[in-house]
């Protein structure tokens, strides 16, 4: 079995160096290659990539800044491994991050994407333990803002996981066309998971694998957020807004349990009523926000 690690980079050479040092220090013996895709860096990253050992590393240089989906799809096509592992360059990897992902990918029937726990480098709290959805239908992160102890057991199945650190069989990834390149630096990973879910795949978050993440450190990470949300809601909102009615109440209250002053009164009442079984269906505030997002979207993604 050969593993292809794919990392797209855009500037932030200091983080890329830290990531590469951690990768080499914590990589277990196996047949592997690293595929780097530079997305138009101007800070010395390209020169640094050129000096990497060519027996282990392949390097693609984009002519222009193309974004996450295009860059990682190109890396996947170049990769020779049976398994793809997408890794952000703003990760700090830990000693046991790799093996649990490998074990889960081989053990789970109809497996799609396997992800892990990501701790925010700045906060020390969970940033990702799987993806859930809010009442609007937008992706959100399960257990975000909680301590690592809140993630109990070996893991959980999830409708989606983030691609900041994830593993998938190469043939499966390519069979669905990889990441949808209509998205630009957001939602492409959740969209991939939902497309695979429609095919019967199950996604797993392995709690035994933990990494550190400098969240949204890449330049331009949020520049297309409204467009991405609008496209996502147009495509998946009919499902995710309903899932959000189940996901959101407990996740919302849990996130702010340690900072109650940040709770919104209307949303808090809504969440409590839902947990008590006294409210069901859509909420006016969620429907209004959903409409605002779609109304501000570029013409090609309006409903």
Do 67 and 192 fall within a single domain?
Answer: yes
* Integer Cα distance of 144 and 136 in angstroms: 18
Q: What is the DSSP string of 170-200?
A: HHHHHHTTSS-TTS-SSSHHHHHHHHHHHTT
Do 233 and 208 fall within a single domain?
Answer: no
Do 102 and 242 fall within a single domain?
Answer: no
Do 211 and 274 fall within a single domain?
Answer: no
Domain boundary among the residues 225, 245, 260 is at 225
Do 190 and 291 fall within a single domain?
Answer: no
Do 33 and 142 fall within a single domain?
Answer: yes
Binned at pLDDT 50, 70 and 90, residue 298 comes out as low
| Average pLDDT value for residue range 296-300 | 66
Do 178 and 38 fall within a single domain?
Answer: yes
What are 220-242's pLDDT values in tens digits? 557 789 999 999 999 999 999 99
**pLDDT value, residue 235:** 95
pLDDT at residue 197 is higher than 80: yes
CA angle 36, 37, 42 (to 5 degrees): 110
Do 127 and 274 fall within a single domain?
Answer: no
CATH code where residue 178 lies: 3.90.550.10
Q: What is the reported pTM?
A: 0.93
Domain boundary among the residues 205, 225, 245 is at 225
* Integer Cα distance of 130 and 155 in angstroms: 9
**pLDDT value, residue 261:** 85
Higher pLDDT, 151 or 295: 151
Phi, psi of 28, deg, nearest 5: -85, 155
Do 218 and 274 fall within a single domain?
Answer: no
Domain boundary among the residues 176, 191, 225 is at 225
Do 127 and 254 fall within a single domain?
Answer: no
Do 154 and 275 fall within a single domain?
Answer: no
Query: For the chain, what is the domain count?
Result: 2
**pLDDT value, residue 303:** 45
Do 158 and 34 fall within a single domain?
Answer: yes
* Integer Cα distance of 72 and 38 in angstroms: 10
Q: Give the residue numbers spanning the domain of 131.
A: 2-225
CA angle 126, 115, 27 (to 5 degrees): 95
Radius of gyration over every alpha carbon of the chain, rounded to an integer in angstroms = 19
């Amino acid at each position: 079995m050969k593993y292809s690690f794919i990392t797209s980079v855009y500037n932030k050479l200091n983080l890329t160096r830290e990531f590469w040092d951690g990768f080499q220090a914590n990589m277990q013996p196996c047949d592997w290659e690293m595929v780097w895709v530079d997305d138009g860096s101007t800070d010395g990253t390209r020169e640094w990539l050129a000096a990497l050992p060519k027996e282990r590393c392949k390097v693609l240089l984009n002519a222009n800044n193309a974004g996450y989906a295009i860059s990682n799809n190109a890396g996947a096509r170049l990769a020779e491994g049976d398994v793809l592992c997408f890794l952000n360059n703003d990760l700090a990897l830990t000693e046991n991050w790799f093996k649990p992902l490998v074990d889960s990918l081989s053990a789970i029937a109809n497996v799609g994407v396997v992800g892990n726990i990501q701790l925010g480098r700045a906060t020390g709290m969970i940033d990702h333990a799987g993806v859930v959805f809010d009442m609007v239908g937008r992706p959100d992160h399960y257990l975000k803002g909680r301590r690592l102890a809140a993630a109990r057991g070996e893991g959980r199945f999830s409708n989606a996981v983030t691609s900041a650190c994830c593993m998938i069989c190469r043939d499966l990834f390519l069979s669905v066309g990889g990441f949808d390149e209509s998205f630009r630096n957001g939602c492409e990973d959740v969209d991939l998971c939902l497309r695979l879910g429609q095919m019967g795949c199950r996604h797993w978050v392995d709690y035994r694998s933990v990494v550190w993440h400098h969240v949204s450190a890449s330049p331009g990470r949020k520049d297309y957020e409204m467009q991405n949300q609008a496209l996502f809601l147009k495509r998946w909102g009919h499902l995710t807004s309903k899932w959000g009615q189940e996901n959101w109440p407990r996740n919302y209250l849990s996130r702010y349990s340690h900072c109650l002053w940040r709770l919104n009164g209307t949303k808090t009442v809504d969440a409590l009523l839902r947990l008590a079984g006294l409210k069901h269906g859509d909420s006016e505030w969620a429907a209004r926000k959903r409409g605002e997002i779609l109304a501000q979207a570029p013409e090609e993604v309006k409903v």
